[in-house]
Structure 1
Amino acid sequence: MIKRNLRSAFVAGATLVALAACSSTDTDTVSTTKNEFNGPKNIIMVVADGMGPAYTTAYRNYVDDSKTAIVETVVFDDLLVGNASTYPAQVSGYVTDSAAAATALATGIKSYNGAIGVDVDKQPVQSVMHYAKQKGMRTGLAVTSQIVHATPASYIAHNESRKNYNAIADDFYDVRVNGEFVADVMLGGGTRYFEREDRDVLAQFIDAGYAYADSYNRLASVPTGSNVIGLFAPVALPWVLDDSRKNRLEYLTKQAIRQLENDKGFFLLVEASQVDWAGHANDIASAMAEMHDLALTIEYLKAYVSENPDTLVVLTADHSTGGLTIGARGDYRWTPSFLHKLDASASTMAKDIAGESLPGAYIEKTLGFALTDEEKKHFDDVAKQEESERYTAIKSFLDDKTNTGWTSTGHTGVDVEVFAFGAGYNAFMGQIDNTDIAKKIFSFIDKRPVLSSGIQTNIEMTPSDDKSDTCNFKEDWRCQ
């Protein structure tokens, strides 16, 4: 584990200068929108965890109107500007995990798989959120995972291992910029990590003046312009198919912006976290539902940018997950219509089926399409199995119906798409690396006047002797 000692101010100015110098962004690539910073006033970074190129194509087919002769475009199609490579530091090979990818997207520096805001030598590195706060912007995050998960953690914390959730939660409070907390708004799951017997970090935030919301509805009642921590589940939010809000990411994003808007601008990280988890689980139903939640969010952000043209939105994935294929087993067919009327996730069906007197009829009703007598009998038998086997059986059934293929329960090393719109969007065009995204954002933020240069952290990095903390996604794909 990491030893935690008081550390003097960590100043990453030299790192930032190097990153800015490496960036290809110049004044010609910045939007001509006029504001005092000669660049985007607000920056919204959206990470669709695990969303490889097959996911956006699958989503287009999933929402297609089959009654028309063409496949209609979706919100992502008009916003595509390029692709990004995702490989981690050389020590970890060519296939990244979410921690190394998030560190690259947040800091512009390649690191090893498992690293949270540290370089290959396990030294803390500055993120774009740190720098935005340093330049006087309000900052926040809205995610569907626990907020200490790899992607949001890498924008705030410094830790040698992504699995040290409690220590990462401590960093959310302990790491400061100019004496201030890194994030003004934090929305997602993770009560378990903030409200602990050994340290009640949530209480510390409340005592420091943060409003606290433990439900979506309570979040709406927090006065505009507040500092707020919203934790809506012990760990992650439910699958969107099971959630009370079917537009939960759009809602959290809208609420975060309501709190962050100010004359000096804001930086907001948004993560569609569970696209990745659906990929790890090879769960096509949840994959498409989580993609729809993301699409609703991007639709909202498009409307927001049309009203606030000094805002930049960048959307990308940290990597692709699961090796999703549209069509499988030599059959030239993909039939997503079987996914259109689900009343619950495959995971929830797997839990509930064991308590049903007529399991086959329950599955038929919840899937929203007719089953044959043989298929109902199949699920009558499935109900007698262990829950993990029931989950696999339901997913496999939907894979057969839709003709979906998967090559992995882990990540793959393919390039991912980059989407951008708003002020300065053309800086992200073409074939780039994931680190370039951070470098370009650093460059935009760098146009603002420096308030001071101190980032305080209480982390001292030392190698871990515990070799048991490696995420094994085959067994534990949520890494909880």
Structure 2
Amino acid sequence: MNLRKTCTWALSALVVLPLFASANIDIHEAPSRPKNMIIMIGDGMGPAYTSAYRYYQNNPDTEEIEQTVFDRLLVGMASTYPARQSGYVTDSAASATALATGVKSYNGAISVDVDKRPLTTIMQMAKARGMATGVAVTAQVNHATPAAFLAHNESRRNYDAIAQSYLSSGADVILGGGQKYFPEDLLKQFSAKDYQHISQLSQLDSLTQGKALGLFAEVQLPWVIDQQDSTQLSLLTQKALELLSQNPNGFVLLVEGSLIDWAGHNNDIATAMAEMHGFANAIEVVEQYVRANPDTLMVVTADHNTGGLSIGANGEYAWDTALLKGIQASPASIAELAIAIDDWQPLVSQKLGFELKAEELQSLGNARMQGQVALDTALKQLIDNRSFTGWTTSGHTGVDVQVFAAGPAADLFKGNQDNTDIADKMISLLPRAKQTLEVISKDNK
């Protein structure tokens, strides 16, 4: 069934008519096929995150609540459930597999089907058409989402094998974290394949053409809130666009705001909002690129919702964004600093941006005696209580996620759809392949 589906989508000329019809679009008014496609994924970015970000960014000195880039670009919703054997709540691997291939699979799958057979990805299809491909992410580059676009593996946890497999992925640009998974001998193999390797963001300007492997952290990139700098992902996105756009046949680029999800798992609202800001800035970079290059389609979505975030908690009709915006570091880094010194109270108060009550100091002091993890947890609970933020889980939830789009064929993504539909629509918009059905079939063997 999966092979038949993949082959069917490869026949672009036959696919476009029924696809436009199912999207309630008059074929005579169908938008032109884009030359370039950019899919952006806010990992864990359920609807509450974009709503929270709107209020977080709002100017309190004006009567109106200003729109964000998410409000401007919203076109639809998508369901995210994995293959039924995994239930209704997806993980990043199964969802990314759906977004990369158009096929449902089990939680943990990296672009393999439920029988662990490789599925052809949109990146592979793009390469078969002579297009450039790339990824720019804030997690390690071999994490679940980018891996599903560039690799095939029965488990997302096989990080070393996934990193090794990138040698044969054909990707032109790979930017993000993950230095620990790319030892010196592997880097030499990438160099032998004409990849330029850099390890500092300050070296991005040295990349002017050709293939690039940029690994800027041991695992994840630094938290935006700790850097007090929301430009990391924007810089990676801008460089990826600059390099990939040199291909005359066009490109497909994946950009992931990976750490929104990690902050959600941590139930860390201050860090999550800072990561949302970094992702929003990257979307605006791509939005400007689409305006300057009207042959480019941008599709933005989330792979799932994380944490069950609620705006308002404990029966209070309130959410204190001013308090959240005053926090100057992640609870994890505040806890680390506070453990290291004796006179910790002034430092904690300064980093949080508000004065602590006696009972709050007592609670934090008790947690501090239990160690850094306990203090980190206590700080997050304090912030939640003060800001009226709620969470239902440290894991994922099964709610539908939003879809945002701009550029040619953006109307295809309007309304309700499944995450596999997003992949199917993007695949249908690839240039018509000169390769035969046999070439596409071969990828699934």
Same fold flag (TM > 0.5): yes
Q: Distance in 2 between matches of 1:439 and 1:401?
A: 44
SS at match of 1:432: strand
Match of 2:145 in 1: 151
Q: Higher helix share goes to which structure? A: 2
Q: Provide closer, same or farther for how the CA distance between residues 446 and 439 of structure 1 changes in structure 2, counting only shifts above 3 A.
A: farther
State the distance in 2 between where 1:375 and 1:269 align: 43
What is the Cα-based RMSD across aligned positions, in Å?
2.4
Q: Kindly provide the CA deviation profile for residues 124-173 of structure 1, in whole angstroms up to 9, marking residues without a partner as x.
A: 00111111111111110000000111000001111111100011111111
Q: Which of 155, 177, 183 pairs up with 1:195?
A: 183
For 2:165 and 2:437, how far apart are their aligned partners in 1?
Answer: 21
CA contact (8 A) 1:29 1:424 kept: no
Residue 234 (structure 2) pairs with residue 250 (structure 1): yes
2:101 aligns with: 107
Q: Which amino acid is 2:112 matched to?
A: V
**CA positional deviation for 1:456:** 11
Residue 62 and residue 272 in structure 1: after superposition, are their counterparts in 2 closer, same or farther (change >3 A)? same
SS class of match (1:76) = helix
Q: 2:268 aligns with which of 254, 271, 283?
A: 283
Contact 2:34 2:296 in 1 (8 A): yes
1:233 to 217, 240, 244: 217
Assess if the C-alpha contact under 8 Å between 2:20 and 2:30 holds in 1. no
How far apart, in 1, do the equivalents of 2:255 and 2:9 lie? 26
Q: Which residue of 1 aligns with 2:356?
A: 371
Please identify, of 346-355 and 106-115, the stretch whose mean Cα deviation from structure 2 is larger: 346-355
2:43 maps to what in 1? 49
Report the alpha carbon displacement of residue 447 of structure 1 after superposing the two structures with TM: 2.9
**Is 1:186 the counterpart of 2:174 in the alignment?**
yes
Partner of 1:91: 85
- Per-residue CA deviation, residues 293-337 of structure 1 (Å, 9 max, x unaligned), is 011111111111111111100000000000000011111111121
Q: Does 1:328 align with 2:295?
A: no
Cα distance in 1 for partners of 2:195, 2:26 equals 40
Q: Structure 1 92/335 Cα, relative in aligned 2: closer, same or farther at 3 Å?
A: same
AA of the residue aligned to 2:120:
Q
Partner residue in 1 for 2:67: 73
**Alpha-carbon contact 2:3-2:444 (below 8 Å) kept:** no
> Structure 2 counterpart of 1:270, which letter?
V
| Alpha-carbon distance in 2 for matches of 1:250, 1:452 | 38
Residue 174 of structure 1, CA deviation: 3.2
- Give the TM-score normalised by structure 1: 0.86
CA distance in 2, matches of 1:459, 1:167: 19
Could you tell which deviates more after superposition, 201-210 or 265-274?
201-210
What SS does structure 1 have at the residue aligned with 2:429? helix
Q: Distance in 2 between matches of 1:124 and 1:151?
A: 16
Shift of 1:202: 1.7
Specify the code of the residue in structure 1 equivalent to 2:6.
T
For residues 441 and 198 of structure 2, the distance between their equivalents in structure 1, rounded to whole angstroms, comes to 27
1:84 maps to amino acid: A
Partner residue in 2 for 1:138: 132
**SS of the residue aligned with 1:344?**
coil
How far did 1:440 drift?
0.6
Shift in alpha-carbon separation, 1:337–1:286, aligned structure 2, 3 A: same
Distance 1:269 1:331 in 2: 39
Ranges in structure 1 where 5+ consecutive residues have no aligned partner: 1-10, 176-180, 461-480
Q: Kindly tell me: are residues 302 and 375 of structure 1, through their superposed partners in 2, closer, same or farther at Cα, counting changes over 3 Å?
A: same
Number of aligned residue pairs: give it. Answer: 436
* Equivalent position of 2:418 in the other structure: 433
From 404, 414, 418, the equivalent of 1:419 is 404
The secondary structure found in structure 1 opposite 2:203 is helix
- In 1, the alpha carbon distance for the partners of 2:158 and 2:28 equals 39
Inter-partner Cα distance in structure 1 for 2:237 and 2:26: 30
**Contact 2:35–2:431 (Cα < 8 Å) also in 1:** no
Within 1, Cα distance between the matches of 2:79 and 2:8? 23
Q: CA deviation at 1:383?
A: 2.7
Cα shift at 1:379? 3.3
TM-score (norm 2): 0.92
CA distance in 1, matches of 2:302, 2:43: 5
Aligned-residue offset at 1:376 = 3.8
Checking the alignment, whether the CA contact within 8 Å between 1:134 and 1:451 is kept in structure 2 is no
Counting aligned pairs with the same residue, the percent is 48
**Contact 1:320–1:413, Cα closer than 8 Å, also in 2:** yes
Q: Does 1:169 align with 2:160?
A: no
1:29: Cα distance to partner? 6.5
Q: Aligned partners of 2:339, 2:146: CA distance in 1, in Å?
A: 36
Offset at residue 219 of structure 1 (A): 1.7
> Structure 1 counterpart of 2:222, which letter?
P
| 2:284 is the alignment partner of 1:306 | no
Q: 1:216 aligns with which of 191, 198, 201?
A: 201
Q: CA deviation at 1:372?
A: 3.3
Range with bigger deviation, 267-276 or 293-302: 293-302
CA offset at residue 24 of structure 1? 1.8
Aligned to 2:255: 270
Instruction: Please state how far the C-alpha of 1:416 moved relative to its aligned partner.
Output: 0.3
Task: Say which is worse superposed, 343-352 or 103-112, in terms of deviation.
Answer: 343-352
Shift of 1:68: 2.1
C-alpha deviation, 1:30, in angstroms: 9.8
> How far did 1:370 drift?
2.7
Q: Secondary structure at the match of 2:277?
A: helix
